[in-house]
Amino acid sequence: MMKRLLLPLCTLFVLSACKKDEIPPVVEIMGNNPDTVYVKIYSQYPDAGAKATDGEDGEVAVIVTGSVDMNVPGHYVIRYSAQDDNNNFATEVERHVEVIRAQGDYASTENCSSSGANNYTTTASSNSANDTISLTGFPISGYVTRAVVREGGYRIYNQTVSPVMDIEGTIDCNGSTMEVSYTRTDLQGPGASETCTATLKK
């Protein structure tokens, strides 16, 4: 009687142990999605990547397809997938990236060490051929910034805004926001200067 009971139980155990894993990994995108970056501020798009987790195999390698051309404004798609040891493929997920120019109107909030806070509407235009951004309608309207050697922003080179002041600083770009930090010196005064920061948002 005992042998007849044990045989079905053993058979059930063997069948359960041999059942093939058919559950695919799950892919999770890291970082911003969708993402927006300014043209040419990076030599390569700083992809935050993705991670894939499988119930049987734990963390597995992520398969990445697609690329972003940081020299050409436009819409790009990066796709992520994964495969576990039993050849189960994860559902593909996508990151959408917009590479944009500094173009159009920005709401500008400026804070300066001497003159205090001011609000402006600033019009930006960019020329990716020579890596410049021009801002008009800004307190230091008319200056031009050029791409700095470091990645992630532009440097305002020592630029005289004729005939009253001298400007030097940086612009950092993040999404559709520009952070401007600069020092301006009154060329007609007794060497007076002040430091300013401004946030420009689309």
pLDDT digits (tens, 9 = 90+) for 71-123: 888 999 999 999 999 999 999 999 999 998 888 898 989 898 888 898 888 88
Q: Where are the domains of the chain?
A: 23-100, 104-201
Q: How far is CA 95 from the centre of its chain?
A: 11
Retrieve residue 37's tokens.
Answer: 């970056």
More confident residue, 162 or 135: 135
- Residue 139 pLDDT: 66
- Residue 12 pLDDT: 41
More confident residue, 178 or 163: 178
Rounded to whole angstroms, the Cα distance separating 73 from 38 reads 8
The rounded mean pLDDT for the chain is 81
Question: Once rounded to an integer, what is the mean pLDDT over residues 33-38?
Answer: 91
- Reported as a pLDDT band with limits 50, 70 and 90, residue 187 is confident
Sheet holding 26-29, edge to edge: 26-29, 50-54, 58-60
103 CB-contact burial (10 Å; exposed 0-12 / middle 13-18 / buried 19+): middle
Q: Is the per-residue pLDDT at 25 higher than 90?
A: yes
Rounded to whole angstroms, the Cα distance separating 118 from 196 reads 11
CATH class of 104-201: mainly beta
Q: Do domains 23-100 and 104-201 have the same CATH topology?
A: no
CATH architecture label of 23-100:
Sandwich (2.60)
Please say whether the beta carbons of 122 and 105 come within 8 A.
yes
Total Cβ atoms within 10 A of residue 131: 15
Q: Is the per-residue pLDDT at 3 higher than 70?
A: no
* E strand or H helix at 11: helix 2-18
- Residue 46 pLDDT: 92
- Residue 9 pLDDT: 42
Q: How far is CA 159 from the centre of its chain?
A: 29
Helix, coil or strand: residue 3: helix
Q: Report the share of the chain in percent with pLDDT over 90.
A: 31
pTM: 0.72
The predicted-structure confidence for 50-70, as pLDDT tens digits, reads as follows 999 998 889 999 999 999 999
- Residue 194 pLDDT: 87
Using alpha carbons only, what angle is made at residue 198 by residues 201 and 70, rounded to the nearest 5 degrees?
A: 55
Question: Once rounded to an integer, what is the mean pLDDT over residues 143-155?
Answer: 60
